[in-house]
Amino acid sequence: MKRSRLHILALILSIAVIVTIFVHSPTPVLYSPEYTAFTKNQTNPAALESLGQDRGEKLLPLMSDLLDAPGTIILNIEYGDMDIAERDLQHFRELSRSIDNLVINLDMSESEIEDFRRMNQKNLQIISELLTSTSRLDELNSLEIRFRDQEDPQMMTSITYEGESLRNKISHLYQEYLSQSEPLASVSTRLDLNTTGYELSQENFGDIVKRIENEQEDRFYVLQTQFPSDQSDNDLMISVQPAEGSYHDTIRISGSLSGIEISNKKVDLFIDTAKTSTSITNSQGNWQYQYRIESIPAGLHTAYAVYKNSTFSDIVTFSVIFLNTHIVLENPEISESGLLCKGALFTDSGPLDGVKVHLLADNGIVASPLTDIEGNFHAVIGLSPGDHQIKAVFSDSTVPLSGSESRTYTVTIPASGSLLAGISDNRPDIPSFIIAGMVILGTIIAGYSYIHRKKPKFKVRGTHTARPEDSALEIEEVVPFLTDSSRHDSRMEEAFEKYLAIAGSNIREAVGILFSHLREEIGRSLPLRNPRSFTPRELCSKISGLPFFENFRTFIGHYEPVRYGNRDPDDHERDEIVKSFEAISRKLKGGDEN
């Protein structure tokens, strides 16, 4: 009954384990609210509802803050508090990220909000560049004071030209900031947002531009009056053609050196105050440099040339046009070698070659192929079995190109092809197969060894030399041990004499001597470990079936009341104890069973 209950319990538990595994094994990731964002086919209606309810409550104050943020930064720049302006810019960036996330999470498609978001991004870029440029101008002011005192005309010219470059840039930023005004005001009016702060920021921006222009005029005045450039006999001219270009276009910057010794001379070209190249003049003193537009931000840039670090050319400007890109990803194909992804990247004017495109699987970059001359790209990627979200993304903030993202495809990789797909990505790897094969072979050997392993031999502690290998007690096997009868007799006589000596005065101790003797003798005859640890009844159970069992039981029957019960036995009982003792001793010796 007890065993059957255990069986039923074990069966129920086994079924529970198997059912639990099989229920969860196809979709091992369990649902919880934090998995909502990436768990397929899971939605959290409660969470969505709470987001939807306070959509307007969250968005409008945030938009209002975003409108006011540039004003604070511009005001701090105007008053020269660059550290505070930097901190405010960081706050502006965080606010901008908040609105981006909010718009994405709420899946807002209203044109006003989308327009506002785009214009805010533009404002952030303008303010960020304004802060960088004004910080650099502050540094230039410090340098100007130092080099003016040292009367270093080369450095003063360099500072003045860099200042001019920055002035151009800030003027350009101001124009862009003003161009934002009208559409932003229009959107703000429709959304009932207060634009007073933003309008004020435009005025402050204008004040900054005016101040920088004045500073720059002063620099030119100082350079021309205090540091005359006509110290050398040469004159350097510069020109750019065309005056504007886009990514991968080439701008030809050329010029001529006039004066004495104009042939085969080095002319350094600076773009945005950074030394870009060194050209060699020809026999007529002409030089030129082909500048390919690559890693340079969009906007206005300046260039000037320097000869012998002392003759400076004028400053010329050229403009880099920002281009929008479009990326197309074809439906990925599952092949034996992996997942084949193909696509193309192009701008409004044509394909883009030689740029890196990122292929993303589940928002992680898995490949970054380069586009070819026709703007095409392709890659074979290895993925684990299951569903994956695949898309192609182009994003490079160092080039005058917008980022773009393809549509997302959901691809299901079959389980059978998983290993192949992973391997085929890098061609079959023989060493890894060898290592894997060795591991499998090793485990097969380990399994075989486990089945055929031999147990350590059991060693019986004891003193009897003629003990049988098997511990099972067999009557037939006991008999051969009953040898050495003379020793047995002497030990028995010795024990009996001791018994007789104290039986009159202390029968309890006397019977103890007899029992101890019998226990020792039985322990010698049978394979018993530590015979002294056996109680009378344990010993009795061990010898069941042996010839002296009945005698031993009789002995124990009288022994226990005397030994443990402190009972004083009468003469008859004493005789019985002695008789049973003698019978056991005889039978242990191998004598008459009766």
Interface positions with other proteins (CB under 8 A): 2-3, 6, 9-10, 13-14, 16-17, 20-21, 24-25, 28-30, 32, 35, 382, 419, 422-423, 425-426, 429, 431-433, 435-437, 439-440, 442-444, 446-448, 450-451, 455-456, 458, 471
Minimum CB separation of residue 426 from other proteins in Å reads 5
Report the residue number, 461 or 572, with the smaller CB distance to other proteins. Answer: 461
Q: How many helices (H) and strands (E) does the chain have?
A: 15, 19
Minimum CB separation of residue 4 from other proteins in Å reads 11
Burial class of 474 by CB neighbour count within 10 A (0 to 12, 13 to 18, 19+): exposed
Query: Which phi and psi angles does 151 have, rounded to 5°?
Result: 55, 55
* Separation CA 478–CA 525 (nearest Å): 7
Pairing label, strands 316-320, 244-245: parallel
Minimum CB separation of residue 361 from other proteins in Å reads 14
Report the residue number, 2 or 532, with the smaller CB distance to other proteins. Answer: 2
Minimum CB separation of residue 333 from other proteins in Å reads 21
Report the residue number, 383 or 399, with the smaller CB distance to other proteins. Answer: 383
Minimum CB separation of residue 40 from other proteins in Å reads 15
Question: Taking Cα atoms as reference points, which of 421, 333, 326, 426 lies closest to residue 378?
Answer: 333
Minimum CB separation of residue 433 from other proteins in Å reads 7
Minimum CB separation of residue 581 from other proteins in Å reads 33
- In the block, residue with structure tokens 């255990």: 6
Query: Which phi and psi angles does 195 have, rounded to 5°?
Result: -110, 15
* Separation CA 543–CA 488 (nearest Å): 19
Report the residue number, 530 or 594, with the smaller CB distance to other proteins. Answer: 530
Minimum CB separation of residue 565 from other proteins in Å reads 36
Question: Hey, what are 420's tokens?
Answer: 């192949």
Which of helix, strand or coil describes residue 286? strand
Q: What is the DSSP track for 199-246?
A: HHHHHHHHHHHHHHHHHHHHHHHHHHHHS-STTSS-EEEEEEESSEE-
CB 359 within 8 A of CB 328: no
Report the residue number, 16 or 243, with the smaller CB distance to other proteins. Answer: 16
Q: Helix/strand/coil (H, E, C) string of 136-190?
A: HHHHHHHHHHHHHHHCCHHHHHHHHHHHHHHHHHHHHHHHHHHHHHHHHHHHHHH
Minimum CB separation of residue 436 from other proteins in Å reads 4
* Separation CA 527–CA 518 (nearest Å): 15
Minimum CB separation of residue 389 from other proteins in Å reads 20
Report the residue number, 28 or 228, with the smaller CB distance to other proteins. Answer: 28
Please give the single-letter amino acid code of residue 39: T
Question: Hey, what are 382's tokens?
Answer: 């290895």
Cα angle at 494 between 490 and 499, to 5 degrees? Answer: 145
Report the residue number, 460 or 501, with the smaller CB distance to other proteins. Answer: 460
Report the residue number, 435 or 501, with the smaller CB distance to other proteins. Answer: 435
Report the residue number, 2 or 572, with the smaller CB distance to other proteins. Answer: 2
Minimum CB separation of residue 280 from other proteins in Å reads 50
Q: What is the DSSP track for 90-148?
A: HHHHHHHHHHHHHHHHHT---HHHHHHHHHHHHHHHHHHHHHHHHHHHHHHHHHHHHHH
Report the residue number, 423 or 473, with the smaller CB distance to other proteins. Answer: 423
* Separation CA 428–CA 336 (nearest Å): 12
Minimum CB separation of residue 553 from other proteins in Å reads 28
Q: N- to C-terminal Cα distance for the chain?
A: 45
Report the residue number, 47 or 445, with the smaller CB distance to other proteins. Answer: 445
Question: Hey, what are 362's tokens?
Answer: 């589940």
Query: Which phi and psi angles does 246 have, rounded to 5°?
Result: -120, -175
Report the residue number, 12 or 60, with the smaller CB distance to other proteins. Answer: 12
